[in-house]
């Protein structure tokens, strides 16, 4: 770059100083950095962070395409990084993933992160790998709760952000206002003056267009590429120093087994090297590096060696986990482990004990379930499991969606299980019971203001802010106990006829807020085994909302509908029409059934109360009473 020796000296000491600041962000001294610090001008490591749906994965599509990764005319699906079935089905990113491109001879490692609050743990571990972030904000929605969470983490790690105002093509885009809101957010998060000097780029990710000024006429992402090169610092680290490789992700491949993905913070590694794996629990384990991969587009390519700054994947290390450090054999000083925020919600997963157990699934025992959960813990840093009991395991996570996705994944792998109502995880502070709180942001058309405020009020939410953007919609902000939100989403969507936006994020603890009524209705429960009949359902449907259609096998204690009254009602859904009634015979077809509300897994989880379970098998989702026999259930009114 043409620096004089003096300039290089000055530059190096500045780098050194910067690095000290960064290392302070890791909450532990990086004493291993004793030698000269090298900068990798040939490399950049960035992560994309944002609130859900603000366009991270779509931006990566454009970056990949415009860097020439794909063949000319190659058909590439949209949001190509969302390659897990559930991600494509739901249109959201669930797991953070790596890719890499090359621009002007510089390799850019990119990490896509999920924007949904429940997967915040993925963002936290990802930020350990990178030297800068693209903070995306939707040009209409502006910063939302998860924008705040991810920016807070990025500032804590002292990662310089590039602000990307995306979706500038939206008819309701309000670019200047959103920009001001972002500045407010930075200030609110105590950003330093230096951190406030972030560069800004305006994008239409769908068309792959980026501009330095909203009115500029551009056709591609060139200015975004340039910004990444110039505003994100190259990675640093002592290449001659001892090897320090922090595992931030784990993958699995049938051929090579476990693959540890992470960043080399110092030193270098070659295929065939002997290294130590340190997990903080056992003595360091000596092992050999058999395969090393770098990222290139959507592929992983075998490489022979890697050095400080590189994000790579290492294969062949048995038993390696997220948070472990790979070091030299002689220098066994680990990096600080990854710490992620504590879980706030729990559900009990237990073996399926319904009379239909074992009909659909392959893995039905509690041992199967235990092993599956143990496996999950290896990949999923934000989940905890209490294995104290033999048949049921308390699974703790960040939110209902995260746990519902886990259950969905497990069931698709041919497991059966039953799950309990989600509960928030309380804690004792100085002898006083505290519960997790959420910052809830709601965006609704003005006409629904009343009903929404009332519903949040019932759930002990307190309004903190209300703003009217003048387009007929209002934004309301509340602080509400986490448990008040359990089951709220479907009610909210019904109340706002699907037009409301609803976002929340964990916001500390407060003393217990007293009881919150979950739902005011009771259930309709099958009182005997058999198959549902049109006749029985027809006569039951005026009582509430049915969850089953005709000819569905049921068992005693299975919930077949929601009672419109508050009590639970045992009903006979298998009743046949009396054959002696000749006049009515053959007129079953004339009985018109209202289409039942077939509950999805998430709806079922939202619906159940303490005395109920959701039975999950590869083919079915059923709601049931914990105690199946009617005469054994306590006769209390709900």
Ligand X SMILES: Nc1nc2c(ncn2[C@@H]2O[C@H](COP(=O)(O)OP(=O)(O)OP(=O)(O)O)[C@@H](O)[C@H]2O)c(=O)[nH]1
For ligand X, the binding residues (CB under 6 A) are 50, 52-58, 79, 92-93, 114-116, 166-167, 169-170, 204-206
485 three-state secondary structure: helix
Q: Which is nearer to Mg ion, 83 or 390 (CB)?
A: 83
Contact 348, 395 (CB under 8 A): yes
Q: CB of residue 60 vs Mg ion: minimum separation in angstroms?
A: 8
Q: Per the structure block, which two tokens stand in for 400?
A: 């209902």
Q: Are strands 200-204 and 209-211 parallel, antiparallel or unpaired?
A: antiparallel
Question: Distance (Å, rounded) from C-alpha 101 to C-alpha 48?
Answer: 14
Question: Which among 315, 334, 336 has a CA at the least distance from the CA of 326?
Answer: 334
Question: Distance (Å, rounded) from C-alpha 264 to C-alpha 268?
Answer: 7
Residue 418: in which H helix or E strand, if any? strand 417-420
Q: Which is nearer to Mg ion, 78 or 342 (CB)?
A: 78
Could you say which of ligand X, Mg ion, none residue 332 binds, taking C-beta under 5 to 8 angstroms by partner kind?
Answer: none
Q: How long is the chain?
A: 638
Question: Which among 442, 308, 372 has a CA at the least distance from the CA of 19?
Answer: 308
Q: CB of residue 535 vs ligand X: minimum separation in angstroms?
A: 46
Residue 451 region by backbone torsions, left for phi larger than 0, else alpha for psi between -120 and 50, else beta:
alpha
Could you say which of ligand X, Mg ion, none residue 403 binds, taking C-beta under 5 to 8 angstroms by partner kind?
Answer: none
At a CB cut-off of 8 Å and minimum separation 6, what does 244 contact?
32, 264, 265, 266, 267, 325, 326, 327, 333, 335
Q: CB of residue 492 vs Mg ion: minimum separation in angstroms?
A: 23
Q: Which is nearer to Mg ion, 115 or 481 (CB)?
A: 115
Could you say which of ligand X, Mg ion, none residue 519 binds, taking C-beta under 5 to 8 angstroms by partner kind?
Answer: none
Q: CB of residue 167 vs ligand X: minimum separation in angstroms?
A: 4
Q: Per the structure block, which two tokens stand in for 374?
A: 């143990």
Q: Which is nearer to Mg ion, 204 or 350 (CB)?
A: 204
Q: CB of residue 127 vs ligand X: minimum separation in angstroms?
A: 15
Q: CB of residue 35 vs Mg ion: minimum separation in angstroms?
A: 39
Could you say which of ligand X, Mg ion, none residue 45 binds, taking C-beta under 5 to 8 angstroms by partner kind?
Answer: none
Q: Which of residues 90-119 bind Mg ion (CB under 5 A)?
A: 93
Q: Which is nearer to Mg ion, 143 or 461 (CB)?
A: 143
At a CB cut-off of 8 Å and minimum separation 6, what does 225 contact?
63, 66, 67, 103, 104
Q: Which is nearer to ligand X, 205 or 348 (CB)?
A: 205
Could you say which of Mg ion, ligand X, none residue 126 binds, taking C-beta under 5 to 8 angstroms by partner kind?
Answer: none
Q: Does residue 51 interact with Mg ion by CB under 5 A? A: no
468 three-state secondary structure: strand
**In the chain, how long is the greatest CA-to-CA distance?**
106
Q: Which is nearer to ligand X, 137 or 317 (CB)?
A: 137
Could you say which of ligand X, Mg ion, none residue 533 binds, taking C-beta under 5 to 8 angstroms by partner kind?
Answer: none
Contact 50, 150 (CB under 8 A): yes
Question: Which among 22, 6, 15 has a CA at the least distance from the CA of 38?
Answer: 15
At a CB cut-off of 8 Å and minimum separation 6, what does 621 contact?
599, 600, 601, 604, 614, 615
Q: Which is nearer to ligand X, 94 or 623 (CB)?
A: 94
Q: Does residue 126 interact with Mg ion by CB under 5 A? A: no
Could you say which of ligand X, Mg ion, none residue 485 binds, taking C-beta under 5 to 8 angstroms by partner kind?
Answer: none
Q: Which is nearer to Mg ion, 93 or 617 (CB)?
A: 93
Q: Which is nearer to Mg ion, 56 or 128 (CB)?
A: 56
Q: CB of residue 48 vs Mg ion: minimum separation in angstroms?
A: 8
Q: CB of residue 55 vs ligand X: minimum separation in angstroms?
A: 3
Q: CB of residue 207 vs ligand X: minimum separation in angstroms?
A: 7
Q: Which is nearer to ligand X, 114 or 132 (CB)?
A: 114
Could you say which of ligand X, Mg ion, none residue 397 binds, taking C-beta under 5 to 8 angstroms by partner kind?
Answer: none
Q: Which is nearer to ligand X, 23 or 218 (CB)?
A: 218
Could you say which of ligand X, Mg ion, none residue 170 binds, taking C-beta under 5 to 8 angstroms by partner kind?
Answer: ligand X
Could you say which of Mg ion, ligand X, none residue 597 binds, taking C-beta under 5 to 8 angstroms by partner kind?
Answer: none
Q: CB of residue 505 vs ligand X: minimum separation in angstroms?
A: 13
Question: Distance (Å, rounded) from C-alpha 215 to C-alpha 223?
Answer: 14
Q: Which is nearer to ligand X, 214 or 457 (CB)?
A: 214
> In Å, how far from its chain's centre is CA 630?
39
224 three-state secondary structure: helix
Question: Distance (Å, rounded) from C-alpha 587 to C-alpha 205?
Answer: 58
Q: Does residue 56 interact with Mg ion by CB under 5 A? A: yes
Q: Which is nearer to ligand X, 95 or 486 (CB)?
A: 95
DSSP state string for 93-104: --S-EEEEEEET
Could you say which of Mg ion, ligand X, none residue 370 binds, taking C-beta under 5 to 8 angstroms by partner kind?
Answer: none
Residue 302 phi, psi (nearest 5): -70, 135
Could you say which of Mg ion, ligand X, none residue 484 binds, taking C-beta under 5 to 8 angstroms by partner kind?
Answer: none
Could you say which of ligand X, Mg ion, none residue 167 binds, taking C-beta under 5 to 8 angstroms by partner kind?
Answer: ligand X
Q: Mask: binding to Mg ion, 76-95, rule CB under 5 A, as x and -?
A: -----------------x--
Within 449-551, residue ranges assigned H as helices are 449-458, 488-495, 534-540
Q: CB of residue 56 vs Mg ion: minimum separation in angstroms?
A: 5
Q: CB of residue 203 vs ligand X: minimum separation in angstroms?
A: 6
Could you say which of Mg ion, ligand X, none residue 243 binds, taking C-beta under 5 to 8 angstroms by partner kind?
Answer: none
Q: Per the structure block, which two tokens stand in for 536?
A: 């029985």
Cα dist from 554 to 135, 622, 628, whole Å: 50, 9, 12
Could you say which of ligand X, Mg ion, none residue 52 binds, taking C-beta under 5 to 8 angstroms by partner kind?
Answer: ligand X
Q: CB of residue 597 vs Mg ion: minimum separation in angstroms?
A: 30
At a CB cut-off of 8 Å and minimum separation 6, what does 209 contact?
203, 218, 219, 220, 221
Three-state SS sequence of 276-295: EEECCCCCCEEEECCEEEEE
158 three-state secondary structure: coil
Question: Distance (Å, rounded) from C-alpha 195 to C-alpha 239?
Answer: 28
Question: Which among 416, 474, 471 has a CA at the least distance from the CA of 450?
Answer: 474
Q: Which is nearer to ligand X, 56 or 307 (CB)?
A: 56
Contact 201, 164 (CB under 8 A): yes
| Interface pick for Mg ion out of 32, 45, 57, 268 (rule CB under 5 A) | 57
Q: Which residue is nearest to ligand X (CB)?
A: 115
Stretch near Mg ion under the rule CB under 5 A, chosen from 14-22, 57-65, 489-497, 516-524: 57-65
Q: CB of residue 197 vs ligand X: minimum separation in angstroms?
A: 25
Residues that bind Mg ion (CB under 5 A): 56-57, 93
């Amino acid at each position: 770059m043409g620096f004089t020796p003096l300039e290089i000296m000055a530059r190096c000491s500045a780098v050194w100083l910067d690095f000290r600041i960064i290392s302070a962000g890791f909450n532990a001294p990086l004493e291993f950095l004793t030698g000269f610090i090298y900068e990798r001008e040939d490399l950049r490591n960035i992560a994309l962070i944002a609130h859900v749906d603000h366009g991270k994965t779509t931006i990566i599509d454009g970056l990949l395409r415009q860097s020439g990764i794909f063949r000319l005319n190659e058909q590439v699906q949209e949001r190509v990084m969302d390659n897990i079935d559930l991600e494509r089905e739901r249109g959201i990113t669930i797991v953070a993933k790596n890719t890499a491109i090359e621009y002007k001879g510089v390799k850019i490692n990119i990490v896509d992160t999920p924007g949904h609050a429940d997967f915040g743990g993925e963002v936290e571990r990802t930020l350990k790998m990178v030297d800068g972030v693209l903070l995306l904000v939707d040009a209409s929605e502006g910063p939302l709760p998860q924008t705040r969470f991810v920016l807070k983490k990025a500032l804590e790690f002292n990662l310089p952000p590039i602000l990307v105002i995306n979706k500038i093509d939206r008819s309701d885009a309000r670019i200047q206002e959103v920009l001001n809101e972002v500045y407010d957010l930075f200030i609110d998060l105590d950003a330093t003056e230096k951190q406030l000097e972030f560069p800004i780029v305006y994008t239409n990710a769908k068309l792959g267009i980026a501009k330095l000024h909203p009115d500029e006429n551009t056709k591609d992402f060139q200015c975004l590429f340039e910004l990444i090169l110039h505003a994100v610092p190259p990675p640093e680290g002592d290449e001659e120093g001892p090897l320090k490789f922090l595992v931030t992700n784990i993958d699995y491949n049938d051929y090579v087994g476990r693959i540890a993905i992470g960043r080399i913070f110092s030193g270098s590694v070659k295929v065939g090297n002997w290294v130590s794996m340190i997990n903080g629990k056992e003595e360091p384990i000596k092992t050999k590096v058999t395969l090393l991969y770098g990222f290139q587009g959507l592929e992983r390519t075998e490489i022979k060696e890697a050095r400080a700054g590189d994000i790579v994947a290492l294969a062949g290390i048995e038993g390696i986990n997220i948070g472990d450090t790979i070091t030299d054999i002689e220098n066994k000083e680990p990096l600080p482990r990854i710490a992620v925020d504590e879980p706030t919600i729990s559900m009990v997963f237990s073996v399926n004990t319904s009379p239909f157990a074992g009909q659909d699934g392959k893995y039905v025992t509690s041992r199967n379930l235990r092993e599956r959960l143990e496996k999950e813990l290896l990949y999923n840093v934000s989940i905890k499991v209490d294995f104290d009991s033999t048949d049921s395991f308390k699974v703790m996570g960040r939110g209902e969606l995260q746990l519902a996705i886990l259950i969905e994944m497990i069931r698709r792998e041919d497991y059966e299980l039953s799950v309990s109502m989600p509960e928030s995880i309380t804690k004792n502070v100085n002898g006083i019971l505290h519960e997790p709180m959420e910052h809830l942001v709601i965006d609704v058309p003005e006409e629904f203001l009343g009903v929404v405020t009332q519903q949040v009020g019932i759930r002990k939410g307190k309004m903190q802010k209300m703003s009217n953007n003048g387009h007929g919609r209002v934004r309301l902000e509340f602080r509400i106990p986490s448990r008040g939100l359990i089951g709220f989403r479907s009610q909210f969507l019904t109340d706002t006829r699907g037009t409301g936006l609803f976002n929340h994020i964990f916001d500390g603890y407060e003393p217990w807020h007293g009881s919150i009524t979950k739902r005011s209705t009771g259930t309709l429960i099958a009182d005997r085994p058999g198959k549902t009949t049109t006749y029985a359902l027809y006569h039951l449907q005026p009582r509430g909302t049915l969850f089953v259609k005709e000819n569905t096998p049921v068992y005693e204690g299975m919930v077949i509908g929601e009672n419109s009254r508050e009590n639970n009602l045992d009903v006979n859904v298998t009743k046949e029409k009396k054959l002696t009634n000749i006049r009515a015979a053959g007129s079953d077809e004339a009985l018109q059934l209202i289409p039942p509300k077939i509950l999805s897994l998430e709806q079922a989880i939202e619906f159940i109360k303490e005395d109920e379970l959701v039975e999950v098998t590869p083919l079915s989702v059923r709601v049931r009473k914990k105690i199946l026999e009617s005469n054994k259930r306590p006769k209390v009114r709900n």
